[in-house]
Amino acid sequence: MKEVSRKLLDVQQDYIDKIRLENDVLTRKPLAFVETYGCAQNESDSERLKGMLEAMGYDFCDSTEEADLVLYNTCAVRENAELRVFGNIGALKHQKNRKPEMIIGVCGCMMQQAHIAEEIRKKYKHVDIVFGTHALFKFPEILDGARKGGRIFENENCDGEIFETESCHRDNPPLAKIPIMYGCNNFCTYCIVPYVRGRERSRSAENILKEIKAVADKGYKEIMLLGQNVNSYGKDLEDGLTFAGLLEMACKVEGIERIRFMTSHPKDISDELIDVMARNDKICKQLHLPVQCGSDRILKKMNRSYTREKYLEIVKKVRQRMPQIVLSTDIIVGFPGETNEDFEETLSILKEVEYDLVFSFIYSKRKGTPAAKMPDCLTEDEKHKNFDRMQKVQNEIAKKRNDAYFGKTERVLVEGLSKTNAEFLSGRTEGGKVVNFRGGSELVGEIIDVKITETKTWSLMGEIIK
- Residue numbers at the binding site for ligand 5AD (CB under 6 A): 77-78, 190-191, 290, 292, 330, 332, 361, 363-364, 366
Amino acid present at 320: Q
Min. distance of Cβ 188 from ligand 5AD in angstroms? 7
Interface stretch with ligand SF4, choices 79-87, 150-158, 185-193, 414-422 (CB under 6 A): 185-193
3-state secondary structure of 235: coil
Please give the Cα distance from 329 to 356 (Å, whole number). Answer: 9
Report the first-to-last Cα separation within the chain, whole angstroms.
48
Q: Is 337 helix (H, G, I), strand (E, B) or coil?
A: coil
Q: Judged by CB under 6 A, does residue 181 bind ligand SF4? A: no
CB of 388 to ligand 5AD, least distance (A): 16
Please, where are the H alpha helices in 175-265?
193-197, 205-217, 243-251
In the list ligand 5AD, ligand SF4, none, the entry touching 184 (Cβ below 5 to 8 angstroms by class) is ligand SF4
Find which of ligand SF4, ligand 5AD, none residue 78 binds, CB within 5 to 8 Å per kind: ligand 5AD
How does DSSP classify residue 173?
T
- Please pick, from the candidates 184, 205, 246, 353, the single residue that binds ligand SF4 as defined by CB under 6 A: 184
| CA distances (Å), origin 366, targets 126, 131, 186, 335, 466 | 26, 20, 16, 12, 52
Task: Write the single-letter amino acid at 240.
Answer: G
The listed partner (ligand 5AD, ligand SF4, none) that binds 173, CB under 5 to 8 Å by sort, is none
**Cβ proximity to ligand 5AD, 103 vs 289, nearer residue:** 289
Site for ligand SF4 in 325-384 (CB under 6 A): none
The candidate with the shortest Cα–Cα distance to 155, out of 119, 105, 108, is: 108
User: β-strands 129-131, 152-154: how paired?
Assistant: parallel
187 part of the interface to ligand SF4, by CB under 6 A:
yes
* Phi and psi based region of residue 222 (left: phi greater than 0; alpha: psi -120 to 50; beta: remaining): beta
Residue 194 partner contact from ligand 5AD, ligand SF4, none using kind-dependent CB cut-offs of 5 to 8 Å: ligand SF4
Residue 186: name its binding partner from ligand 5AD, ligand SF4, none (Cβ under 5 to 8 Å by kind): ligand SF4
Q: Which is nearer to ligand SF4, 202 or 426 (CB)?
A: 202
For residue 75, the partner it binds in ligand SF4, ligand 5AD, none, with Cβ less than 5 to 8 A by kind, is: none
Task: Quickly list DSSP for 386-447.
Answer: HHHHHHHHHHHHHHHHHHTTTT-EEEEEEEEE-SS-TTEEEEE-TT--EEEEE--GGGTT-E
If contact means CB under 5 to 8 A according to the sort of partner, which of ligand 5AD, ligand SF4, none does residue 124 touch? none
Q: Which is nearer to ligand 5AD, 124 or 361 (CB)?
A: 361
Which of 138, 13, 139 lies closest to 71 in space, CA to CA?
A: 139
Using CA atoms, how far residue 283 sits from 195, 325, 333, in Å, is: 32, 11, 32
Binding residue count for ligand SF4, defined by CB under 6 A = 10
Q: Quick one: DSSP state of residue 111? A: G
Question: Side chain identity at 348, as an amino acid letter?
Answer: S
- Of the candidates 130, 188, 244, 277, which one interacts with ligand SF4 according to CB under 6 A? 188
Minimum distance of ligand SF4 from residue 304's CB (angstroms)? 8
> Using an 8 Å Cβ cutoff, are 147 and 103 in contact?
yes
Site string for ligand SF4, 254-283 (x = CB under 6 A): -----------x------------------
Choose the one of ligand 5AD, ligand SF4, none that binds residue 366, judging by a C-beta under 5 to 8 angstroms depending on kind: ligand 5AD
Q: How many CB atoms lie within 10 A of CB 427?
A: 27
Task: Give me the least distance between CB of 366 and ligand 5AD, in Å please.
Answer: 5
Residue from 36, 42, 186, 295 binding ligand SF4 (CB under 6 A): 186
Q: What does the per-residue mask of binding to ligand SF4 show for 209-248, with x meaning CB under 6 A?
A: -------------------xx-------------------
Q: Is residue 458 a contact residue for ligand SF4 (CB under 6 A)?
A: no
Pick 174 or 294: Cβ nearer ligand SF4: 294
| 2/199 with CB nearer ligand 5AD | 199
Burial of residue 247 (number of CB atoms within 10 Å: 0-12, 13-18, 19+): buried
Residue 231 C-beta: closest distance to ligand SF4, Å: 10
Instruction: Provide the Cα torsion 76, 263, 323, 453; round to 10°.
Output: -50
- Residue 227, classed as helix, strand or coil, is coil
CB 61 within 8 A of CB 90: no
Q: Which residues lie near ligand SF4 (CB under 6 A)?
A: 184, 186-188, 191, 193-194, 228-229, 265
